[in-house]
Amino acid sequence: MRALVYDGSKPRFEPRHPDPELAPGEAIIRPIAAGVCSTDLEISRGYMDYRGVLGHEFVGIVEKVHPDVDDKAKQLVGKRVVGSINCVCGKCDMCTRGLANHCRDRTVLGIAGRDGCFAERFSLPVKNLLAVPDTLDDDHAVFTEPLAAACNVMNMLRIESRPFVTVLGDGRLGLLTAQVLSKLNASVRVIGKHPDKLALCEKWGIKHRLLSDVSLRADQDVVVDCTGSASGLDTALKMVRPRGKVVLKTTVAEQKGVDLSPIVIHEIQLLGSRCGLFSDALAMLNGGEVDVVSLISRRVKFAESEKALATAAMPGTLKVLIEFE
Amino acid sequence: MRALVYDGSKPRFEPRHPDPELAPGEAIIRPIAAGVCSTDLEISRGYMDYRGVLGHEFVGIVEKVHPDVDDKAKQLVGKRVVGSINCVCGKCDMCTRGLANHCRDRTVLGIAGRDGCFAERFSLPVKNLLAVPDTLDDDHAVFTEPLAAACNVMNMLRIESRPFVTVLGDGRLGLLTAQVLSKLNASVRVIGKHPDKLALCEKWGIKHRLLSDVSLRADQDVVVDCTGSASGLDTALKMVRPRGKVVLKTTVAEQKGVDLSPIVIHEIQLLGSRCGLFSDALAMLNGGEVDVVSLISRRVKFAESEKALATAAMPGTLKVLIEFE
């Protein structure tokens, strides 16, 4: 089959990549559409030391399931699905204490130990799959994974009594996170570098400012770093008030020395946040609570997906979708 | 008067430093004993960009108070006191919301904008002072400030259901923090590099291991980094379990690039912790709940205090006390 593969040098479109094997408990999925995430870009710069098929955001159709799965899972064949990217053992200390996303033996779709979804076919455990409601189109459903990650920020924070919240970064994840947080009892603003991206906030009624227009006053109760850049944390630590919280979403392959002494001096809480609940995100998309379609900057045919990552890395671009035939 | 002063190059014993002025609301204090803290060492390596008299841990006698203070404060004259090091405005947003230690306009004794206690006399606001009970001797009282900082770790964590807690670092602060945490419903161990320092844990019935004997298994619920070294956080992030907590006590002048991606991948909470409540620490000392006297490694006469910092920086040394005549 054809697949977009990272071999340690750069992403390559391979015409003859081996088909995925159908393992017990798993399904083979044919993607309809896939999204390019900043993590894909970081991986193709060496992050996670990953080799294999890239991609983890998708909506697809279940082609087949392993015969050992239960009847309910068998009914997924032919259906549209999205799927959680963490494939877990169910037995380790993390799984048994309800932290399965942190499974000690996990593989992660297109990120760690498991070929991703930028391919004609890929596999996931059936327990990872959620059927997409008929009322939700592909352009929305493909945002389930990044929206779930944005929802996770909300779940980690417990927002109360209208705090001042800054979402730092006006990229894909920043704009999703800002939309989610703006539903809560919080005063949310987005700080970014791109007037055209910030214009979306205007449309959504979310406050926004250019980073260059803002003085770093250590007055925000919460700062969510969605910059995807090594300097983001540095800025966040200057924006947050003493005893405030910084949520770190950014993972970057190359990290410069960040001065962490403000964390101690100002007793800041730094909270790492990664994946979220797909069910929450799917419900939110189906309820029309967030605008994801405005985030689609470009559509690239799968056969031309080598250039999808380069496009996604360009400053003006939000979400790049890879469309499969 | 005589004072140990940092002028940007190295700590110098100055025979003719100007006496402190008696400002409204303040007291002049003559120290009896003062402790050398790692922060003093970091400051004399450039941390905080501080210039002036060093030192912030003391027990002393109030020599005089400004005539504008109330009758209760006037009764402190001639009494032994310890004193909170943050001198605050009482008016800014931090002070009015109960976060006075983070006052926007604060000075900090021997750390920021206010001459410290390694001098014949120094000043503090009377509201910062606590009388030392007659039942508590100077060797104990001088530990109030570092013990308060150790107690603050406990207050930030809310320890429940016997978590596995590692105190990383067997120095002054690590051994105080371990003693405080071991009073709680937690399984506490100290990980350090110095068998002679870890021997104190044996005496106190606290579990301990050499760092070289421990594998970094990401299995601790809480890790408190008291190493005072740039590599401490790196080790802590490898020891803590996914969704666990790392308390950062270490502030260092020079910070190397720490890989922060584990914070996001493992959704770790990093909590900065600085100063604590003096009243808690004083009560704990007076109740005999912690052994501080075993931490005293050396006593140096004030006139020879230039060498006190160098002594405190030696690997085998715990607390160095400066004794005043």
> A315 or A305, which is more confident?
A305
Residue pair B83/B108 in contact (Cβ under 8 Å)? The answer is: no
Partner residues linked to A26 by β-bridges: A125
- Whole-number pLDDT of residue B317: 93
> A87 or A325, which is more confident?
A87
pLDDT digits 0-9 by tens, A221-242? 999 999 988 789 999 999 999 9
- Whole-number pLDDT of residue A259: 83
Residue pair B182/B206 in contact (Cβ under 8 Å)? The answer is: yes
A256: pLDDT strictly greater than 70: no
A257: pLDDT strictly greater than 90: no
Q: Which residue of A has its CA nearest to B276?
A: A267
B202 shares contact with chain A (CB less than 8 Å)? no
pLDDT digits 0-9 by tens, A177-202? 999 999 999 999 999 999 999 999 99
- Whole-number pLDDT of residue B65: 98
Which of A243, A249, A274 lies closest to B99 in CB terms? A243
pLDDT-derived band of residue B107, with 50, 70 and 90 as boundaries? very high
Nearest by Cα to B224 from B174, B268, B259 = B174
Per the prediction, chain A carries an average pLDDT of 95
User: Which residues on B lie below 8 Å from A233 (Cβ)?
Assistant: 260
- Whole-number pLDDT of residue A324: 97
Per the prediction, chain B carries an average pLDDT of 95
- Residue B220: how many CB atoms within 10 A of its CB? 24
Residue pair A312/A41 in contact (Cβ under 8 Å)? The answer is: yes
Report which secondary-structure segment, H or E, holds B222.
strand B220-225
Interchain contact, B265 vs A250, CB within 8 Å: no
A253: pLDDT strictly greater than 60: no
pLDDT digits 0-9 by tens, B113-144? 999 999 999 999 999 999 999 999 999 999 99
Q: What are the counts of helices (DSSP H) followed by strands (DSSP E) for chain B?
A: 11, 19
Which of B47, B256, B261 lies closest to A251 in CB terms? B261
pLDDT-derived band of residue B279, with 50, 70 and 90 as boundaries? very high
The stretch B294-311 carries a mean pLDDT of 95
Interchain contact, B255 vs A260, CB within 8 Å: yes
Interchain contact, A272 vs B250, CB within 8 Å: no
User: What is the interface size between A and B, counted as CB pairs within 8 Å?
Assistant: 103
Interchain contact, B258 vs A263, CB within 8 Å: no
Q: Give all strands of the β-sheet with B52-53 in edge-to-edge order.
A: B11-14, B3-6, B52-53
pLDDT-derived band of residue B227, with 50, 70 and 90 as boundaries? very high
Instruction: Please give the structure tokens belonging to residue A162.
Output: 């209208």
pLDDT-derived band of residue A255, with 50, 70 and 90 as boundaries? low
Which of A94, A243, A250 lies closest to B102 in CB terms? A243
State residue A268 phi and psi, 5-degree precision.
-80, 145
Q: Which domains does chain A have, with CATH numbers?
A: 3-143+292-323 (3.90.180.10), 148-272 (3.40.50.720)
pLDDT-derived band of residue B173, with 50, 70 and 90 as boundaries? very high
- Whole-number pLDDT of residue B254: 59
Q: Which of B101, B231, B246, B265 to mutate to test the interface with A (most CBs of A within 10 A)?
A: B265
B230 shares contact with chain A (CB less than 8 Å)? no
Distance from C-alpha of A109 to C-alpha of B116, rounded to nearest angstrom: 56
- Whole-number pLDDT of residue A129: 98
- Whole-number pLDDT of residue A252: 66
User: Which residues on A lie below 8 Å from B255 (Cβ)?
Assistant: 257-261
The single-letter code of the amino acid at B92 is C
Distance from C-alpha of B182 to C-alpha of B184, rounded to nearest angstrom: 5
Distance from C-alpha of A233 to C-alpha of A300, rounded to nearest angstrom: 32
- DSSP letters for A253-315: SS------HHHHHTT-EEEE-----HHHHHHHHHTT-S--GGGEEEEEEGGGTHHHHHHHTST
User: What are the DSSP E strand ranges found in chain A?
Assistant: 3-6, 11-14, 26-35, 52-53, 57-65, 80-83, 86-87, 107-109, 113-114, 122-125, 129-131, 164-168, 187-192, 207-210, 220-225, 240-248, 269-272, 296-301, 319-323
The stretch B64-71 carries a mean pLDDT of 98
B253: pLDDT strictly greater than 60: no
Nearest by Cα to A60 from A85, A87, A34 = A34
A94 shares contact with chain B (CB less than 8 Å)? yes
The residue written with tokens 């020599």 in the block is B63
Kindly tell me the sign of the dihedral angle through the C-alpha atoms of A171, A173, A178, A183: positive
- Whole-number pLDDT of residue B318: 96
The stretch A170-175 carries a mean pLDDT of 95
pLDDT-derived band of residue B22, with 50, 70 and 90 as boundaries? very high
Q: Which residues contact B287 (CB under 8 A, 6 or more apart)?
A: none
Nearest by Cα to B151 from B279, B237, B58, B270 = B279
Q: Which of A219, A248, A249, A252 to mutate to test the interface with B (most CBs of B within 10 A)?
A: A248
pLDDT-derived band of residue B155, with 50, 70 and 90 as boundaries? confident
Q: What are the counts of helices (DSSP H) followed by strands (DSSP E) for chain A?
A: 11, 19
A319: pLDDT strictly greater than 70: yes
> A289 or B250, which is more confident?
A289
- Whole-number pLDDT of residue A228: 86
Interchain contact, B255 vs A261, CB within 8 Å: yes
Please determine, for the modelled complex, whether the ipTM score is greater than 0.90: yes
The residue written with tokens 């584990």 in the block is B262
Partner residues linked to A271 by β-bridges: A247, B269
pLDDT-derived band of residue B252, with 50, 70 and 90 as boundaries? low
State residue A25 phi and psi, 5-degree precision.
80, 0
The stretch A46-50 carries a mean pLDDT of 88
- Residue B259: how many CB atoms within 10 A of its CB? 11
- Whole-number pLDDT of residue A52: 97
Q: Which of B156, B248, B273 to mutate to test the interface with A (most CBs of A within 10 A)?
A: B248
